[in-house]
Structure 1
Amino acid sequence: MPVHLISRLPSPTTASFTVSNASRHTSTLAKLFFYFQFLLRGIAFAGVLSFHAARFRHALFSQDSFVPWATVWSSPLGSSVCQLADTSNFVVAILVSALVIYGVFLKGYTEESLLVIRGLGIQTSTSSPTYLFKAATRFIPTTEIQDIVIHEAFKGFEVRFYLAVIVAGEPGVVVVFPKLLPNRAKLEEVWRGSRHCLYDSKP
């Protein structure tokens, strides 16, 4: 998927750069597909919960509950779910359920960001592949930043450019946007904006 860059300059001393390969949903068809996808995720999640609720219905749900579970399980849909839950292999059901839950919470895109604050430092962030975990972040104080540079390296048979922060006392560099590796034009825009925010006091 194509990578796009979003630059925000809320003040002369603060800059934010975000790269993402998520769909922008600009067209009506793309928006409809986005909402339809979330609907399918909700149905799949509800299906997994219903399956396991039916499997353990005798242990989890009592007759004194305010919900008429006997009516629920005896309905056409409820009886079908109960029959499937009672006849399925437990190990296979757990494995399939885990895969479905993982697919439900899978983002399907990557988002990485760089936040620059003059006098404080920079913070890099890489989103988690699922909605269940937070993004991986790292903060580097200004006193530890030696420089911000654009390097080039071989990835397979092609040359790729990457933005790197040289940190005092570390043998290697901190790569910004390590997952997406945007093209050189986007990296130059981030490089100029971040250096201007960190070091240049002129407007």
Structure 2
Amino acid sequence: MLTTAPHLYIRRPSPTTAEFTVTTCPPLNLPLRLLFLLIHLARLLLAAAAVLTLYARFLFDPAAIPNQPNSPRPNTPSGQPDTLNGAGVDEALTHLRAGQIPLFLTTLLTSAHLSPAGLTLAHFTAPLPDWALALAGMTVLYATLVRFRSLHTTESVLVLRGLGIQICRMIGGGGGRETRFIPTEKIRDVLINEAFRGFEVRYYLVVVVEGEEDVVVLFPGLLPRRKIVEAVWRGVRGCLEEGSTSTGQGSTGKGSQGKGSQGKGKGG
């Protein structure tokens, strides 16, 4: 439900431009969009809880809390001032407007720690030793911000006749994208190579680039099935060669090019 087998989308903004996108993201209807939103919110909440727990255990200094008798604040059941909804947020915003980012973060984390939710979190994590808390907090941060930053993989190839090919791999979770542009004058050929991946025969779409020892594998992270590879191969060659298409025996690379693709594919 959250992910699918790699499938192809083709977009042709103009007769000289074609974009081929292979993704594992299913069609986004309203229920699925809401589910993804809830998943991202849960990730953010877990990451925030981990940061707050680590701050409260290792960096929080009770002596640094400003004493402002003229600014009464409601007390929590534990007797600590609830600064999250009072002067703590105002002070944090003042630091932010002044460009004092470290003071803003410190004040905001202190206010969050002294809130009812923060005190409850500290109460439940109090029995843990420092090493266990640090390990758990870092594990949660790694899992939510790095390891599971995206549920899907999306890779695309943009073909611009007369200019070249742009290869793009989108990284979810705010990680941006990885791109590479290959000019037309550097492109020697676009081939489909056949290679073994484990005990399975896979088909790789590759670009032979002038001056490079290894071929460039398109869609290396997804390795779509043969039908998609052949459709993209026909579209890329057709766009680069001004609408002419090649069929038959030219679709499979042999010899040294096939070996280069096989080594590249196994590495990916």
Fold similarity call, TM over 0.5: yes
Counterpart contact for 2:56–2:122, Cα < 8 Å: yes
Deviates more, 1:51-60 or 1:180-189: 51-60
Counterpart contact for 1:54–1:81, Cα < 8 Å: no
User: Aligned partners of 1:147, 1:187: CA distance in 2, in Å?
Assistant: 15
Deviates more, 1:56-65 or 1:138-147: 56-65
SS in 1 for 2:179: strand
Counterpart contact for 1:52–1:85, Cα < 8 Å: no
Structural RMSD (CA) = 2.8
Among 178, 182, 192, the alignment partner of 1:150 is: 192
Deviates more, 1:181-190 or 1:87-96: 87-96
Corresponding residue for 2:183? 141
Asked if 1:123 corresponds to 2:166, the answer is: yes
Against the structure 1 CA distance between its residues 60 and 51, is the aligned structure 2 distance closer, same or farther, given a 3 Å change threshold? farther
Counterpart contact for 2:82–2:116, Cα < 8 Å: no
Deviates more, 1:190-199 or 1:88-97: 88-97
Among 147, 151, 164, the alignment partner of 1:108 is: 151
Letter in 1 for 2:82: T
Corresponding residue for 1:94? 134
Against the structure 1 CA distance between its residues 33 and 131, is the aligned structure 2 distance closer, same or farther, given a 3 Å change threshold? closer
Against the structure 1 CA distance between its residues 185 and 75, is the aligned structure 2 distance closer, same or farther, given a 3 Å change threshold? closer
| TM alignment of 1:17-28, pairs within 5 A | 17-26=20-29, 28=31
Corresponding residue for 1:58? 61
Letter in 1 for 2:162: G
| TM alignment of 1:1-203, pairs within 5 A | 1-26=4-29, 28=31, 30-55=32-57, 56-58=59-61, 62-63=65-66, 70-71=81-82, 76-84=116-124, 86-105=126-145, 106-128=149-171, 131-201=173-243
User: Which aligned runs of 4 or more in structure 1 are off by greater than 6 angstroms?
Assistant: none
Query: Higher relative CO (CA 8 A, sep ≥ 6), structure 1 or 2?
Result: 1
Against the structure 1 CA distance between its residues 12 and 61, is the aligned structure 2 distance closer, same or farther, given a 3 Å change threshold? farther
Counterpart contact for 1:150–1:191, Cα < 8 Å: yes
Q: How far 1:164 moved relative to its partner?
A: 0.3
Q: How far 1:70 moved relative to its partner?
A: 2.4
SS in 2 for 1:127: strand
Structure 2 unmatched runs, 5+: 74-79, 84-112, 245-268
User: Aligned partners of 2:121, 2:234: CA distance in 1, in Å?
Assistant: 59
Deviates more, 1:130-139 or 1:54-63: 54-63
Against the structure 1 CA distance between its residues 134 and 31, is the aligned structure 2 distance closer, same or farther, given a 3 Å change threshold? closer
Counterpart contact for 2:51–2:137, Cα < 8 Å: no
Q: How far 1:4 moved relative to its partner?
A: 1.2
Q: How far 1:126 moved relative to its partner?
A: 2.2
User: Aligned partners of 2:200, 2:232: CA distance in 1, in Å?
Assistant: 22
Letter in 2 for 1:115: L
User: Aligned partners of 2:134, 2:20: CA distance in 1, in Å?
Assistant: 41
Q: How far 1:101 moved relative to its partner?
A: 2.2
Deviations 1:44-102 (A, max 9, x none): 12312332343333269632588957225566533322334554333333332232223
User: Aligned partners of 2:72, 2:49: CA distance in 1, in Å?
Assistant: 19
SS in 2 for 1:113: strand
TM-score by length of 1: 0.83
